[in-house]
Amino acid sequence: MTQTMRWFGPNDPVRLRDIRQAGATEVVTALHEVPNGAVWTLEAIAARKSQVRAVGLDWTVVESLPVDEALKTRSGDWDRLIDHYCQSLRNLAACGVRVVTYNFMPLLDWTRTDLAWELPDGARALRFEAVAVAAYDLFILRRPGAADDYDVATQSAAEARYAAMDDDARATLERTIIAGLPGSEEGFTSPQFLRAIDTYAGIDASTLRDNHVAFLQAVCPVADELGMQLVVHPDDPPFPIFGLPRVVSTEADVANLFARVPSASNGLCLCTGSFGVRADNDLPGMVDRLGSRIGFLHLRSVQREPLGAFHEAEHLGGDAQMAAVIAAVHNLSVREGRSIPMRPDHGHQILDDLNRTTNPGYSLLGRMRGLAELRGLERGIAHATGLSA
């Protein structure tokens, strides 16, 4: 595997030199300052690549080139936005960037309810609690029709949870869910979020899948011509929230997408954390079966909890079966003769990072520990099998 770490650009508190010292050879990054739907210019991409290369790293994987909401709803100035997306792909390819990550989640990117959940050893982790989401949805956002999405037990638990929170706790929960986490494409206030939800009226899972296919049918011919791979990031969490459909949550979802758009450029970012929230996703089997479609790996593990909750576990712990996943990745790499870019995802906040300002999930030391563990696991598997990619 090609070892990378995510970097959020010049304002990231983690420096490029820190990432190089952690053992990565590349960063995955994006032009976060460019508004959604605008063209990434050749000059801006080249400048960012030069900045990365100046410290001995490389940049060949974008995370992410955002898909504007009008493309997801197939509304507004769709043709112009497609043209902009394709031009950004051409400019990225001209600068040697060959893998482009994107997602097709409506409105919200990855979602959590606690950004500093304390573990028994004093480290802090990200956590998602379904009851807390329901408390926000029912009693803070007050989304019309929200009660129809929750059973009686969840509604009762959410009401109790809301009643137990003071104003500060309610504001923190609201901000955590909708203000925008690192890498997210949008941030909202609750009134803005309600209005945005209305733009998805009448768009169910079937329609969103059709819109996703239409997007890929428009951009994949360009990506094919350029020799690029567009890798979709799975839904996080992998189920509908706030009445909005999510359509990249299971292996069946991905297989359907590949069947409908068989272009070589139509690929997958296999996130073991996102897919791993669902016990019905067989992660090692997905590596075996999806094979050459996998262009990028997010390696992290979650610990599933009762009532739809989960938290970020140690990279080699939790429910991800990471040893089996890495063994499958290693076999794939040997079979196809390629090194798949990977990054350790969502590290714990540990040690000195507990005293620093960090992007939630993207502290240096927790990810460095994860990278070291994953690197060691891969090398141990390669040694045991006697095979190298």
Residue 389, exposed/middle/buried by CB under 10 A (0-12, 13-18, 19+)? middle
**Burial of 344 from C-beta contacts in 10 A (0-12 / 13-18 / 19+):** buried
Catalytic residue positions, numbered: 233, 271, 298, 345-346, 362
Residues 284, 383: Cα–Cα separation, whole Å: 20
Backbone angles phi, psi at 275, to 5 degrees: -65, -35
- Supply the pTM of this predicted model: 0.96
At 283 the pLDDT is: 98
2-108+203-303+313-385 placed in CATH 3.20.20.150: yes
Q: Is the peptide bond before 237 cis (omega within 30 degrees of 0)?
A: yes
For the chain, residues classed under CATH 3.20.20.150 are 2-108+203-303+313-385
Q: What is the pLDDT along the chain (389 residues), one digit of tens a residue?
A: 999 999 999 999 999 999 999 999 999 999 999 999 999 999 999 999 999 999 999 999 999 999 999 999 999 899 999 999 999 999 999 999 999 999 999 999 889 999 999 999 999 999 999 999 999 999 999 999 999 999 999 999 999 999 999 999 999 999 999 876 666 666 789 999 999 999 999 999 999 999 999 999 999 999 999 999 999 999 999 999 999 999 999 999 999 999 999 999 999 999 999 999 999 999 999 999 999 999 999 999 999 999 999 999 999 999 999 999 999 999 999 999 999 999 999 999 999 999 999 999 999 999 999 999 999 999 999 999 876 65
